[in-house]
A = this chain, B = another copy of it.
Amino acid sequence: MSAKLKAIFDKNGSLLVNEPLQAKNLVSALYGPTPKEAITEERSHTNWDIDEMHKFIEGSEEKANQILGLYKSLERDPILSSTFDYYDLTKEQEREMVAQRIDRMSRYSEVESTEKFLRRLQIMNIVDPSLGIRIAINLGLFMNCVRGNGTDAQYDYWARYKENQNLKQLYGCFGMTELGHGSNVAGCETTATFDVETDSFIIDTPNISATKWWIGGAAHSATHTVCYARLIVKGKDYGVKTFIVPLRDSDHNLHPGIAIGDIGAKMGRQGVDNGWIQFTDVSIPRFFMLSRWCKVDREGNVTLPPLEQLSYISLLEGRVNMATDSYRTGARFITIALRYSVGRRQFKSRQSDEHEVKLLDYRLHQRRLLPNLALTYAMALGTDRLEKQHKRILEEMEQAVSKNDKKLINKSILDTKSLFIDSGSLKSTLTWLAANLIDEARQSCGGHGYHSYNGFGKSFNDWVVQCTWEGDNNVLAMSVGKTLVKNVEQVLKGRNISTETLSFLNNSKELINKKIILGSEKDVHDVFTVKLAVQSLIAKYSASLVERLKKNKDWDLIGPQRVALSKLRAHYYLLETFEQRLQAVGPTSELGVPLGKILKLYYVTSILVPFASEFISFGVVSNEIIEYTNTTFASELCLAVRPYAIGYTDSFKQPDNITFSLIGKYDGDIYENYFTKVKSLNPPRAFKAPYSDKLEDMLNRQSLEERDRFEKSKDAKDILSK
């Protein structure tokens, strides 16, 4: 019998046994792990100039050099540099450290250009997003709100005269969301009632759901808030406007009428003191109302000029930054995971009888990580373009308004529309993709990915709020999708699209009439044909929704489809940018060759495969080519990129101070780096827990009968039953 049983197991041994215990593939016959040597060897494959690639990725030599300079500065700074005890901080400790870092950052703000300071902040944001957002709330949201909604004099007063631009005197927070109101700002319930007698506004929280909620910095740091509140004048509700409301005096004591609380622990960003605020008849002077657009005069006459929407551009900066953050955070974690994947070995191959196999030599591992590498390159180029686009429009608008150049104002309004679409689709699409990237990269490092000192966990937790704040991703994406459908509808009616960013849809009619565009293997190898295919899909998809809306004019019905369209639009932006940049550098140049592979891997694994059923449904790609793309082509591209994995990630040039992960260091000495630091931060001398006595008491406890004082014994029974 046992021989027979054995035979059953032998024949299909691998069915049952995931971890064979029999002594085969003996470790004693293998080399031990040599991760450092492995990464050095991998690094030697790189056949391009890393510095040149870095400049290409960052978009210009000047920007690349500035970033390298900042890396140097931050690594050396005693307060801003990364140390691994960071990952052990409690919420309270983290908040204190962030406060110390804000102070330190404020010193840089006094001596360097705004542009450099914001780049410094962007880089700090990779490793300390709590710091990033605490400053961004003040200098970004608070000050941009004043800039967008206040008069020039008001902005000047708070930013310069009161020195807030250098993080001095006051510290602003952004009192927009309420307990019961998030995405729908127009639904805010806080009131600002004009009192003509005292020439002031009375700010009041009418009920619990009107409590300002999530307000970053409110709990402990902010001295002032921008308050979104309904303007009530002479009993009339003019809708939500913005007001400056002081919260604390210069000794950080709360003003009368202000109730503030810490909202408590969060999934991430523990270093941010989010708070709630309730106002009880708080009086502020009339000139604390931000009044670029809406003015209330001494008698309570309200003026509502038509251009209020212009103020919105100032809130787009956050979305642009979050798109860029997606690239920088993606670069960090794909670097860590790929370094680990060439140093870590697992299972012996049948082909070789020496080392165990490197993780990255498994096809599945390649398929999990290399598409994310390609995506990161695409995000880098696309978000560099978005940053430049944002900067150009800001300058254009400033110029237009200051010169009162009507033609230019008109143009900059159209450009702002483009930026709304681009930043909205990119913010939502890329923050989601970056969350996936961090998670997949973590899982690819197995158990070690779960260890705090390797960075994934905290960063994931800090990251994912990007998907729901400052425009919830789904709300933003639906808005972009709606715009796409409306624009295609216009084109089908014979009109032209005025927003430049969607001008590729001006020939929607031809795009819709196209038959299968990707019908041969040759087609998917050609980026121009693929671009056309994406254009065609967007046009056809939008047109199909136009048809559906004709039957039932209910935009809500097509919510999921609008989100899909927004994602496609974001990818089209990245694809177009990548293709143009590749043309500029030359596809056969030293950089062009490795970039060409990455570009193909990007569009195959981030566009063609994930949207396969859409491409098929709308007849843009043939069934056979989708199958080929998903299997053979994707696999070949991964294999083509594989040998250069370390070179590709080295080209991001993030130093150890930024990758900030024990298993992801440049030298690749995974086990030494990891063990040494774990041991030094958790000294083995403390082998007894502070609660050890609890465990000892439990294990050494008396028997149940003894603890029951033998009340349930036979003796007791004899007595008690009498």
Q: Is the CB of A179 within 8 A of B674?
A: yes
Assembled-state Cα–Cα distance A635/B478 (Å)? 17
Q: Is the CB of B447 within 8 A of A177?
A: yes
Cβ of A410 to closest chain B Cβ, rounded Å: 7
Assembled-state Cα–Cα distance A291/B19 (Å)? 18
Q: Is the CB of A186 within 8 A of B456?
A: no
The answer to the question of A494 belonging to the interface, with a C-beta cut-off of 8 Å to chain B, is: no
Q: Is the CB of A96 within 8 A of B671?
A: no
* CB-CB nearest 7 A-B residue pairs: A23-B239, A267-B457, A364-B559, A220-B689, A265-B452, A19-B185, A261-B684
Task: Output the nearest chain B residue to A240 by Cβ-Cβ distance.
Answer: B21
**Residues of B close to A478: CB separation below 8 A:** 364
Assembled-state Cα–Cα distance A184/B3 (Å)? 27
Cβ of A54 to closest chain B Cβ, rounded Å: 30
**Residues of B close to A92: CB separation below 8 A:** 690
Q: When the two chains form the complex, which single residue of B102, B214, B238, B420 contacts A695, counting CB atoms closer than 8 Å? A: B102
Q: When the two chains form the complex, which single residue of B367, B475, B671 contacts A179, counting CB atoms closer than 8 Å? A: B671
Q: Is the interface of A mostly helix, strand, loop or mixed?
A: helix
Q: When the two chains form the complex, which single residue of B87, B168, B410 contacts A701, counting CB atoms closer than 8 Å? A: B168
Q: Is the CB of A171 within 8 A of B695?
A: yes
Task: Output the nearest chain B residue to A185 by Cβ-Cβ distance.
Answer: B19
Q: When the two chains form the complex, which single residue of B27, B671, B697 contacts A187, counting CB atoms closer than 8 Å? A: B27
The answer to the question of A273 belonging to the interface, with a C-beta cut-off of 8 Å to chain B, is: yes
Assembled-state Cα–Cα distance A623/B616 (Å)? 7
Q: Which of A463-471, A507-515, A520-528, A643-651 contacts B (4 or more CB under 8 A)?
A: A463-471
**Residues of B close to A686: CB separation below 8 A:** 262
Cβ of A288 to closest chain B Cβ, rounded Å: 18
- Given A96-B690, A559-B367, A698-B102, also A451-B264 (CB < 8 A): yes
**Residues of B close to A449: CB separation below 8 A:** 468
**Residues of B close to A220: CB separation below 8 A:** 687-689, 691-692, 695
The answer to the question of A169 belonging to the interface, with a C-beta cut-off of 8 Å to chain B, is: yes
Q: Is the CB of B23 within 8 A of A261?
A: no
- Given A305-B2, A682-B262, also A33-B347 (CB < 8 A): no
**Residues of B close to A558: CB separation below 8 A:** 363
Task: Output the nearest chain B residue to A305 by Cβ-Cβ distance.
Answer: B2
Assembled-state Cα–Cα distance A87/B91 (Å)? 12
Q: Is the CB of A27 within 8 A of B699?
A: no
The answer to the question of A678 belonging to the interface, with a C-beta cut-off of 8 Å to chain B, is: yes
Chain A residues within 8 Å of chain B by Cβ, number: 196
Q: Is the CB of A207 within 8 A of B32?
A: yes
**Residues of B close to A679: CB separation below 8 A:** 261
Q: Is the CB of B613 within 8 A of A617?
A: no
**Residues of B close to A183: CB separation below 8 A:** 18-19, 346-347, 446
Q: When the two chains form the complex, which single residue of B465, B612, B613, B695 contacts A221, counting CB atoms closer than 8 Å? A: B695
Cβ of A39 to closest chain B Cβ, rounded Å: 15
Q: When the two chains form the complex, which single residue of B169, B265, B347, B365 contacts A700, counting CB atoms closer than 8 Å? A: B169
Assembled-state Cα–Cα distance A683/B439 (Å)? 35
The answer to the question of A161 belonging to the interface, with a C-beta cut-off of 8 Å to chain B, is: no
**Residues of B close to A111: CB separation below 8 A:** 704
Q: Is the CB of B617 within 8 A of A626?
A: yes
**Residues of B close to A32: CB separation below 8 A:** 180, 189, 207, 209
Q: Is the CB of A704 within 8 A of B110?
A: yes
Q: Is the CB of A99 within 8 A of B168?
A: no
Q: Is the CB of A184 within 8 A of B19?
A: yes
Cβ of A148 to closest chain B Cβ, rounded Å: 11
Task: Output the nearest chain B residue to A674 by Cβ-Cβ distance.
Answer: B179
Task: Output the nearest chain B residue to A26 by Cβ-Cβ distance.
Answer: B237
**Residues of B close to A684: CB separation below 8 A:** 259-262
Q: Is the CB of A479 within 8 A of B28?
A: no
Cβ of A615 to closest chain B Cβ, rounded Å: 9
Q: When the two chains form the complex, which single residue of B21, B690, B696 contacts A185, counting CB atoms closer than 8 Å? A: B21
Assembled-state Cα–Cα distance A26/B187 (Å)? 7
Assembled-state Cα–Cα distance A265/B460 (Å)? 15
Assembled-state Cα–Cα distance A207/B27 (Å)? 12
CB proximity to B under 8 Å, residues A219-257: 219-221, 223, 230, 237-241, 250-254
The answer to the question of A196 belonging to the interface, with a C-beta cut-off of 8 Å to chain B, is: no
The answer to the question of A100 belonging to the interface, with a C-beta cut-off of 8 Å to chain B, is: yes
Assembled-state Cα–Cα distance A559/B639 (Å)? 14
**Residues of B close to A368: CB separation below 8 A:** 474
**Residues of B close to A701: CB separation below 8 A:** 168
